[in-house]
């Protein structure tokens, strides 16, 4: 009897292990990138805010184009350190293929076939068009190479088990829109794309569940900062949120960093607002139009 | 006799404690009030720059002057012990702990604000075109300091 139980237990463990193994195999995207345009990619770069994590801390001006990594994200799961994504062929990603870049951005899989941690916001980038990914890739290749490899992440068990991220992806990785907006205008749709895709606003402005995934039932509702200290404000068209802000106010904030009562941007949003100040005015207006159009069901 | 002496000491200590707490509440009130004044000045300047308000050289100068006045005293509003607490309306301080762990860095930000506002006063802009770049250099101080030294909970 006991022997039977032990056998059964061993079989179950084997099956469980096998299931875990197969379920968590890093899945890549079997498609190629269209031809990229570096000039258009510059807009994607500022929309995505790559420099806010991959350039030196609080980098300003052109220093934000030096993507040597090393930025530390202090989270409840441990400390993530952003890698070097400059075009340096040794220390950065200069030797990557188009497919490598596409899979990193939209599948969260590295060129050597490992899962990236979702601290790298591919759960948002999965919504990007392949054209935008290609344009961004073309732009990144024009940037200066930077020497040096950033230190490793500092994570405890079980978060240091890469394969576990495969389960996380099965549960949470999707390229579907975060919310449905009825009768959305082209401007609202453009804003939705920017906010939910490359802009990855929801990564901080949406509360996370126990597994660290954004909680779509509370999309852009604000909550405790996922890294560092403080609270991240909600962006709903209600109080507390952006109810008192017109679309023009929101666009002006993204451009200048000033709220309607002339308080200023602060904390980690300073670097983000520096990025949005470099967007086209119509893209800032589109982001504002989307935020004002957020459905009340998400609020 | 001994009892009343002890009572007296206890009361003096309590009063001292209250005064101590009040002083810190005052510091929090003072710095919030100062930032509101800076925000008001920034609002007037921005509205002129955006064309929402007619340009007025006197208002522009007074606004930069208001900011410069604040820059002279602002560093005094962060005494040890005022790291936490609330203003008289019960709103908690948004001062970041970094102010006290990097007081020199914080004071350097205030000094930069002082320099930039003084330069704007010296320039005394007479047109909206002249105001724009000055507003840019002065306004940049807000985010630059709030990036590190303010935290909202």
Q: How many CB atoms lie within 10 A of CB A185?
A: 13
CA nearest to B135, candidates B32, B35, B55, B34: B55
Closest partner residue to B153 (CB to CB) among A230, A264, A268 is A230
Q: Is B70 exposed, middle or buried (0-12, 13-18, 19+ CB in 10 A)?
A: buried
User: What's the ipTM?
Assistant: 0.88
- pLDDT tens-digit profile, chain B (153 residues): 455 555 555 445 444 444 444 566 799 999 999 999 999 999 999 999 999 999 999 999 999 999 999 999 999 999 999 999 999 999 999 999 999 999 999 999 999 999 999 999 999 999 999 999 999 999 999 999 999 999 987
State pLDDT tens for residues A162-191: 889 999 999 999 999 999 999 999 999 999
Rounded to 5 degrees, φ, ψ at A55 are: -95, 175
- Which of A52, A256, A268, A274 is the mutation pick for testing B, counting most B CBs within 10 A? A256
Note the pTM of the prediction, 2 decimals.
0.90
Contact A270 B146 (CB under 8 A): yes
Extended strands (E) in chain A:
72-75, 78-81, 154-155, 223-224, 231-232
With beta carbons under 8 A apart, name residues in chain B contacting A271. Answer: 147
Q: Which residues of A touch B (CB under 8 A)?
A: 58, 229-231, 233, 256-258, 261-268, 270-271, 273-274
Residue A260 and residue A203 in contact, taking contact as beta carbons nearer than 8 Å: no
Give tens-digit pLDDT for A220-275: 999 888 887 788 999 999 888 899 999 999 999 999 999 999 999 999 999 999 99
Please give the structure tokens belonging to residue A148: 């040096």
Cβ distance of B153 and A229 shorter than 8 Å: yes
Which among A233, A263, A270 is the nearest to B147, CB-wise?
Answer: A270
Q: Which of B46, B146, B148 sits opposite A262 (nearest CB)?
A: B46
Q: A138 and A80 in contact (C-beta within 8 Å)?
A: no
What chain A residue is nearest to B152 in terms of C-alpha separation?
Answer: A230
Closest approach of chain A CAs to the CA of B97, in angstroms?
10
Query: Quick one: pLDDT at residue A176?
Result: 95
Collect all residues of chain B within an 8 Å Cβ-Cβ radius of residue A263: 35, 39
Residue numbers in B near A256 (CB within 8 A)? 46, 139
Our CA-based measurement puts residue A82 at a distance from the nearest CA of chain B, in whole angstroms, of: 20
* Contact across the interface for B143 and A266, Cβ inside 8 Å: yes
- Selecting from B39, B46, B147 the residue whose C-beta is nearest the C-beta of A263 gives B39
Nearest of A249, A18, A264, A36 to residue B140 by alpha carbon: A264
């Amino acid at each position: 009897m006991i022997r039977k139980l032990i056998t059964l237990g061993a079989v179950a463990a084997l099956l469980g292990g096998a299931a875990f193994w197969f379920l968590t195999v890093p899945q890549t995207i079997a498609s190629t990138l269209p031809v990229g345009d570096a000039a258009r990619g510059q807009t994607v770069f500022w929309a995505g805010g790559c420099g806010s994590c991959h350039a030196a801390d609080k980098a300003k001006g052109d220093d934000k184009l030096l993507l040597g990594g090393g930025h530390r994200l202090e989270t409840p799961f441990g400390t993530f350190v952003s890698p070097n994504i400059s075009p340096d062929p040794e220390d950065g990603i200069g030797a990557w293929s188009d497919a490598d870049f596409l899979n990193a951005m939209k599948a969260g899989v590295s060129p050597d076939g490992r899962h990236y941690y979702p601290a790298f916001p591919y759960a948002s980038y999965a919504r990007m068009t392949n054209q935008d990914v290609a344009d961004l890739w073309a732009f990144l290749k024009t940037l200066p190479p930077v020497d040096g490899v950033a230190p490793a992440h500092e994570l405890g068990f079980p978060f240091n088990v890469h394969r576990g991220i495969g389960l996380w992806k099965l549960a949470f990785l999707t390229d579907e829109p975060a919310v449905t907006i009825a009768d959305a205008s082209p401007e609202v749709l453009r804003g939705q794309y920017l906010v939910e895709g490359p802009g990855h606003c929801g990564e901080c402005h949406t509360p996370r569940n126990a597994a660290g995934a954004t909680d779509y039932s509370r999309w852009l509702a604000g909550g405790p900062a996922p890294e560092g200290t403080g609270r991240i404000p909600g962006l709903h068209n209600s109080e507390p949120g952006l109810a008192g802000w017109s679309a023009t106010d929101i666009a002006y904030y993204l451009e200048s960093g000033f709220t309607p009562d002339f308080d200023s941007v602060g904390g980690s949003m300073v670097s983000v607002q520096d990025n949005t100040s470099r967007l086209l005015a119509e893209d800032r207006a589109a982001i504002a139009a989307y935020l004002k159009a957020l459905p009340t069901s998400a609020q | 006799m001994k009892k009343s002496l002890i009572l007296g000491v206890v009361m003096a200590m309590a009063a001292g404690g209250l005064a101590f707490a009040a002083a810190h509440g005052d510091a929090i009130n003072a710095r919030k009030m100062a930032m509101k004044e800076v925000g008001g000045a920034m609002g007037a300047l921005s509205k002129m720059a955006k064309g929402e308000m007619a340009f007025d050289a006197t208002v522009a100068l007074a606004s930069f002057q208001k900011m410069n006045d604040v820059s002279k005293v602002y560093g005094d509003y962060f005494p040890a012990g005022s790291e936490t607490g609330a203003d008289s309306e019960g709103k908690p301080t948004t001062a970041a702990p970094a102010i006290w762990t990097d007081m020199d860095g914080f004071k350097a930000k205030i000094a930069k604000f002082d320099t930039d506002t003084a330069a704007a006063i010296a320039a005394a802009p007479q047109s909206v075109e002249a105001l724009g770049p000055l507003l840019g250099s002065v306004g940049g101080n807000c985010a630059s300091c709030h990036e590190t030294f303010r935290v909202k909970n």
